[in-house]
DNA sequence: ATATGTGCAAAATGTTTGCTGTACG
DNA sequence: CGTACAGCAAACATTTTGCACATAT
């Protein structure tokens, strides 16, 4: 069956190989913000004949085509999510690495206004709040290695 | 003479070596958002006895102490600027890599409100608008290599 | 059929670290 | 003086790439 991202790829005239189909499916089903390593892990679980180089090449291609957006929440690895034209932003819990998404029309309006004032046309925007859960003492981070990948699971979208 | 950042370091009880003094001075005088490589170049121009490892160690230390903030505007390298407690945000010209700073009390207020609504205390925030100068055709990027470093010079602060 | 994509392993980046000698407080 | 820092080069982590082969259109 054709995944949402695969459909978009086809519409944009991309050549769909088996590997790309699998990666597109993984991306379509992701509710978090996986990094390339994680995408590779999920894709390889569905089809072993996928190399990490292909994942890198594919996300780069899809980003160039505007299908994906690259995010960087710190931690050295790029993370990806499907482009959504109703924009949403991120709040990152600095103690756990958990990422919470939110929307805000007001922010969006303000950003457009600011860009216009400076003579620019906004193409994409980033708004991130790094914060601590209310009433939490400044705490040592719990996990470490894949804290950001793992912590972002099962979040409301 | 003691640079602004050096003074802050001393206040925070950091041991000031010759190298740190030079790096602090370079940072104090920077009006752009240099990456580590660029900081190293500027520091080495003042005093040859500085290694890039020291620059990395120093910016990391200063970031941990809240004296510097790390930014990532894409392009794979971390960039640094002195922490300013009156927050400011960035608009990045996607055609040239130029970075324009701006402030907006309204945005700040909104972000605090949103964090509060989600039960969080904001610790730091990022707001970036990637945009294109009005009336510019989607253009191929001009330079390439150090476009971001070089383009950010001479901007209003 | 042909242009494009893929795997693999090697290279290129950007950043961190172990070790030994040096210098600040 | 002792502890923390600096230089160097090697180690690391992530991402990109050259080349020969495979595959979609």
pLDDT at residue number A1: 80
Give percent above pLDDT 90 in chain B. Answer: 68
pLDDT class for A76, splitting at 50, 70, 90?
confident
Tens digit of pLDDT for each residue in B44-91?
A: 999 999 999 999 999 999 999 999 999 988 778 999 999 987 678 999
- The bridge status of strand B79-82 relative to strand B99-102 is unpaired
Q: What is the pLDDT of residue A85?
A: 74
Using the predicted structure, report yes or no on whether residue A150 has a pLDDT greater than 60: no
pLDDT at A137: 63
Between B141 and A110, the higher pLDDT residue:
A110
Is B131 close to A121, i.e. CB distance below 8 A?
A: yes
- For the stretch A48-62, pLDDT in tens is 999 999 999 999 999
DSSP assignment of B54-87 equals HHHHHHHHHHHTTSEEEE--SSS--EEEE--SS-
Distance CA B33, CA B74 (A): 13
Alpha helices, H only, chain B: 4-11, 18-29, 36-46, 52-64, 105-117, 147-151
Return all residues near B25 (Cβ < 8 A) that are at least 6 apart.
Answer: B3, B5, B6, B46
Q: Tell me the C-alpha distance between B117 and B119, whole Å.
A: 5
Does residue A154 register a pLDDT over 70?
no
Domain residue spans of chain A: 4-83, 87-152
The rounded distance, in Å, linking the Cα atoms of A6 and B43 is 49
Q: Is residue B135's pLDDT more than 50?
A: yes
Please say if the pLDDT value at position A143 is more than 70: no
Chain B residue numbers touching A115 (CB-CB < 8 A): 91, 129, 131
Share of chain B above pLDDT 70, in %: 86
* pLDDT mean over A51-77: 93
Superfamily of domain B87-152: Ferric-uptake regulator, C-terminal dimerisarion domain (3.30.1490.190)
Has residue A106 got a pLDDT over 80?
yes
Return the pLDDT at A72. 86
SS3 B135: coil
Start-to-end C-alpha separation, chain A:
23
Chain B CB contacts of A100 below 8 Å: 118
Residue A146, pLDDT > 70, answer no
Which chain A residue shows the shortest CA-CA distance from B122?
A131
- Summarize pLDDT for B39-52 with one digit per residue, the tens: 999 999 999 999 99
Q: Residue B36's pLDDT is what?
A: 97
Cβ within 8 Å, pair B120-A72: no
Has residue B94 got a pLDDT over 90? no
Q: What is the CATH code for A4-83?
A: 1.10.10.10
Query: Euclidean distance between the first and final Cα of chain B, in Å?
Result: 23
Inter-chain contacts counted by CB atoms under 8 A, chains A and B: 103
Distance A17 CA to D24 C1' (A): 7
CB neighbours (10 Å) of residue A104?
Answer: 17
């Amino acid at each position: 069956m054709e995944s949402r991202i695969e459909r978009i790829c086809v519409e944009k005239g991309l050549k769909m190989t088996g590997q790309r189909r699998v990666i597109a499916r993984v991306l379509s089903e992701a509710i978090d913000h996986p990094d390339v390593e994680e995408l590779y892990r999920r894709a390889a679980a569905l089809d072993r004949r996928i190399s990490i180089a292909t994942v890198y090449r594919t996300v780069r291609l899809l980003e160039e085509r505007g299908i994906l957006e690259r995010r960087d929440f710190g931690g050295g690895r790029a993370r990806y999510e499907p482009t959504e034209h109703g924009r949403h932003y991120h709040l990152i819990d600095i103690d756990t690495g958990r990422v919470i998404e939110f929307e805000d029309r007001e922010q969006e309006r303000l950003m457009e206004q600011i860009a216009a004032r400076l003579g620019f046309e906004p193409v994409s925007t980033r708004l991130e709040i790094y914060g601590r859960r209310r009433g939490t003492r400044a705490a040592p981070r719990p996990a470490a290695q894949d804290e950001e990948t793992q912590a972002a699971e099962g979040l409301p979208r």
